[in-house]
Amino acid sequence: MTENRHAETSERIVVGVDGSENAMRAAEWAAREAATRGAPLVLVHAVTVPEGYVMVGDLVAHMRREGEALLRHISERLRSGFPDVHLTAEVSDLTPAHALTELSENAALVVTGTRGHGGFAGMMVGSTSRKLAVHAHCPLVVVRDGLPSETLEEVVLGVEPDQDPAPIRHAFAAAARYGAVLHAVRVWHPHAMYSSVAGGYCEDFAETRSAEIESVNKLLGPVAASHPEVRVEVSAARGNTVPVLIEAARGARLLVVGAHRHRGPLAIGAGYVADGLLAHAVTPVAVVPIH
């Protein structure tokens, strides 16, 4: 019984919600993902009662009642659209980052919107999403405003040199669930080489691009072998990683990258690439922990 319960909690999807439309879109995205996975979904609203802060009991109770009413409203909307998803909801007294980080210990995925008001406000303009990208114990998906009504059946994976396999596994699993193409993208910075013929510094673009694509194929190989049903496309581009990945993923179902972890208590941010994508990508971004 204990093993079954652990399996259920470890497969669940957790989504942080407040009263904003962006949070509702994130909840709908999470519900759709839960339906695709056959996983339970947990809605969480944070009322953020400061630790050690003395508040009037009636005020705290009122905040919790408002949170419960909000969760009932969102639950009803989701159940009408996703009747087969097993849905539960809870109010947390913690801050959004703390609540979701704790719940991520027994979850397959944490989902949040970009910004809102109340329990999960300022996800993109503040530090909450960046903290989650560093401290969540499972992959985090951030769903931004303005998602297109139609998406390409494609999962985009940003591949670094010597890429950890965790983001690769996550991207392949997502592509397999969606029946989507996996588009692996390597971005490199120009290599300066002096050429006496050209009379200055230059780079053999075609040769470098070919080498980068070959490197990506080698990294993908072991995971690709276990997902023969997934069609893979590999591309390599020279330039700045963040804008290249944003453009490559425009209209895709998901953009997957790894998060470099610095788990100190004051750590904020998962690196230049992850932070830049969370701030600017329109595509939902999955940030996968690299330990």
Helices (H), the chain: 2-10, 21-37, 57-81, 96-103, 128-135, 165-178, 205-225, 241-248, 272-280
Q: What angle do CA 250, 251, 256 make, to 5 degrees?
A: 65
At residue 119, the pLDDT reads: 46
Measured distance CA(181)–CA(252) in Å, rounded:
10
Measured distance CA(67)–CA(59) in Å, rounded:
12
Q: 142: helix, coil or strand?
A: strand
Token readout for 247 is: 């453009």
At residue 45, the pLDDT reads: 94
Arithmetic mean of pLDDT over the chain: 85
At residue 4, the pLDDT reads: 52
Taking alpha carbons only, the member of 287, 291, 279 closest to residue 115 is 279
Same topology for domains 2-143 and 152-290, yes or no?
Answer: yes
At residue 3, the pLDDT reads: 47
Token readout for 81 is: 């659209």
CA atoms within 13 A on the CB side of 258: 16
Q: What angle do CA 102, 255, 94 make, to 5 degrees?
A: 20
Distances (CA, A) of 144 to 4, 40, 229: 34, 23, 29
152-290 fold: Rossmann fold (3.40.50)
Identify the bridge partners of residue 272 per DSSP, sorted by sequence position. Answer: none
Identify the bridge partners of residue 42 per DSSP, sorted by sequence position. Answer: 14, 88
Domain ranges in the chain are 2-143, 152-290
Q: Which residues of the chain have pLDDT under 70?
A: 1-9, 50-57, 115-127, 146-150, 191-203, 261-270
Token readout for 225 is: 């072998």
At residue 215, the pLDDT reads: 96
At residue 49, the pLDDT reads: 73
List the CATH code of the domain at 2-143. 3.40.50.620
At residue 159, the pLDDT reads: 96
- What is the 3-state secondary structure of 66-132? HHHHHHHHHHHHHHHHCCCCCEEEEEECCCHHHHHHHHHHHCCEEEEECCCCHHHCCCCCCCHHHHH
Q: 133: helix, coil or strand?
A: helix
